[in-house]
Amino acid sequence: MLELDGSDAGGQFLRRALALSILTETPVTVDGVRGSRPDPGLKPQHLAAVEAAAEACDGSVDGARVGSETVGFEPGSLSGGTVTVDIETAGSVTLVFDTLLPLALRIEEPLTVRATGGTDVTWSPPMLWYRRVKLPLLRESGVQIAVDVDRTGFYPVGGGAATLRVGPATPSPLALADRGDPEGVRVYSKASTDLADADVAERQADAAVDELDDRDVLERTVSYVDSDSPGTVCCVRADYESGLAGFDALGEKGKPAEQVGRAAAEQLDSFEGTRAVVDAHMADQLLELLAVAGGTVAVPAMTDHVETSLSLLDAFGYEITVEEGETAVVLRSSDTHAVSPR
C-alpha cells in the first residue's frame, strides 16, 4: 500500500493518484485530501471521480463519501467497457474524464465514460478547450480519443452531458521541445441559446479576432447551445509547426461579451513571450503520457500543479527531469516504460 499525503494539494493530486494506482496496479491511501483548500475533503465532483475510477477497474474504495479526507483505493482488473457518472452538481465533467483518460495507456478494450454535470465551468478545463485543443494534441501523440457533448452545462445548475471514448494506445515519445513557426490561430465562441438575441457568441468571437491583431485567423466558429443555465465560453487556439496552445475565458453575469473574447485572446501574447510548446493548462495534463511514453515537452512555467504532479509521479516510480530556463521549463523522460515501472 502506497501512502500519499495530499495535505498540500488539491483535487488534481487525488485524481492523478487514482489513475496512477490503476496504471501501476498499486493500492494507495491518500490522506489529507484537498488539504490545501479552504474546504478540504471530497466534494461531489471528486467523489464522482473516485467512484468512476473504481467502476472502471472493478476496484474497492474506503472513504468514498462527501467530506472524507482519507481515501483508500485498491485497483482491480481493467477491461474497458462503459462507466456512467452523475456528478449531481455543476462539478466538472472534464476533470472526471481526466481521471480515466490515462487508462488508455493500459486498457486492451475500448473504454466509454458517460458523465453528467458541468461541462464549461470555472477551475477546470472548459469542454470547448478540451475538444478543440487537448484532444487534437493527444491524437497527434497516438492516443485514440473522442468526446461527444449531448448537452452543455454551465454554472450554477450544470445539467450537461458528455461521453468520452478512448481506445488502447501505445503512443510515440512526445516531441514537444520546439514549437516551430506559427501557422495561425482559431477562435471558438459558444453561448447558451437565451443569449442569441444579443449576439453574445458573435461579439465574443469578434473581440477575440480584433485582439489577435494581424495574426492569420484560420477559423472562426460561433455556436449556440441549449443549457439549463445561461453561460458563455470563448477559446483561442494557436497552431504551430510542432504544437498547439489554447487559451479560454468564461462569461459571467455582468461581464460584457467583448471582455470575454479579449480575455481569451490576450493570453496568447504572454505565451508567445515564452519558448513553450504547450499552454500552462496542458502542461500538467500531459505528464502521465510523458512518463509512460517518454519524450520531451517545453512548458511555460513550473506551476504548483506541475511541481506537485512530478512529485507524485516520482512516488510511483516514474522519473522526469526538469530543466528550468528563462522563457520555458523543459520536462524530459528519457526512457519509455512499461506501464508499471514498480
Give the catalytic positions in this structure.
Answer: 305
What does the alpha-carbon distance between residue 286 and residue 178 come to, in Å, rounded to a whole number? Answer: 16
Spatial separation of the C-alpha atoms in residues 331 and 46, rounded to whole Å: 28
DSSP string, 225-236: E--SS--EEEEE
**Rounded to an integer, what distance in angstroms lies between the CA atom of residue 289 and that of residue 104?**
10
| Buried b or exposed e, range 72-106, using 16+ CB within 10 angstroms | bbbbeebebeebebebebbbbbbbbbbbbbbbbbb
Question: Rounded CA gap, 126 and 118, in Å?
Answer: 9
Task: With CA atoms as reference, report the closest residue to 71 among 12, 133, 3.
Answer: 3
Kindly report the number of other CB atoms within 10 A of residue 335's CB atom: 8
- The CA-atom distances, in angstroms, between 170 and each of 103, 175, 292, 316 are 11, 15, 9, 20
Task: Measure Cα distances from 20 to 26, 104, 178, 207 in Å.
Answer: 8, 12, 28, 41
Q: Distance between CA atoms of 27 and 11, rounded to whole angstroms?
A: 18
Residues 6+ apart with CB under 8 A from 172: 141, 142, 293, 295
174-176, strands of its sheet edge to edge: 174-176, 295-299, 329-333, 321-324
